[in-house]
Amino acid sequence: NETFGGDLQFTRAIFDGRWYQNLGAGVLALRLKMAATSQTTPFYERFYLGGAYSLRGYAERSLTPVGYGTRLFLGSVEWRIPFAGGDPQKPGLIGAVFFDAGSIGTPATKRRDDETFTTFGFGFRWKVPVVGLLRFDFAYPTQRPDDFRFHLAIGHPF
């Protein structure tokens, strides 16, 4: 708005909760993200779904409606296990198994198109000094189990 030197006026609310718990030698990581925004929000401030950092198993932004979404739900569960009794804080290899679920929509979206998508998979995280964490995820969308997808990314998904 004009107070901050802009000419746009819209409302946007985002809840992004994350919880981490030591579980055996590994870490159980949970994420719950819920978001909504007004219809007047420009497309670059709206939401998308699909990809290495949101819903693994789908191509980047592939589940996003035309004009991007105004409502978003995303939940993830991931168990991260260091290999060979390694320390998860030191360089080395970490394995992971995960489950993601999400939905996205707009007020114009028909309920049938505003479904919840789910994926499951496994991956490896390689902690490299100086570079950081390289992530290799293999994900399967439950709606299309034959449509396996590989994601290469930097850092944990959450």
The residue with greater pLDDT, 94 or 113, is 94
Task: Check residue 3 and give its pLDDT.
Answer: 67
The residue with greater pLDDT, 26 or 138, is 138
Compute CA distances 69 → 7, 38, 94, 112, 155, whole Å.
22, 10, 34, 15, 25
Task: Render pLDDT for 64-109 as a digit per residue (tens, 0 to 9).
Answer: 888 899 999 999 999 999 986 556 566 689 999 999 999 999 876 6
**Does the pLDDT of residue 113 top 60, yes or no?**
no
Task: Check residue 24 and give its pLDDT.
Answer: 85
Please, what is the end-to-end C-alpha distance for the chain in angstroms? 31
Task: Check residue 107 and give its pLDDT.
Answer: 76
The residue with greater pLDDT, 139 or 3, is 139
CB 45 within 8 A of CB 20: no
CB 98 within 8 A of CB 78: yes
Task: Check residue 65 and give its pLDDT.
Answer: 87
Average pLDDT, the chain: 88
Residues of the domain holding 40? 2-154
Task: Check residue 140 and give its pLDDT.
Answer: 96
Task: Give the pair of three-digit tokens for residue 57.
Answer: 């198993």
Q: How many CA within 13 A on the CB side of residue 141?
A: 21
Split into its structural domains, the chain has a count of 1
Task: Check residue 6 and give its pLDDT.
Answer: 73
Mean pLDDT of all residues in 117-124: 97
Q: Residue 10 sits in a domain of what CATH number? A: 2.40.160.50
pTM, full prediction: 0.86
Mean pLDDT of all residues in 38-63: 93
**Does the pLDDT of residue 112 top 60, yes or no?**
no
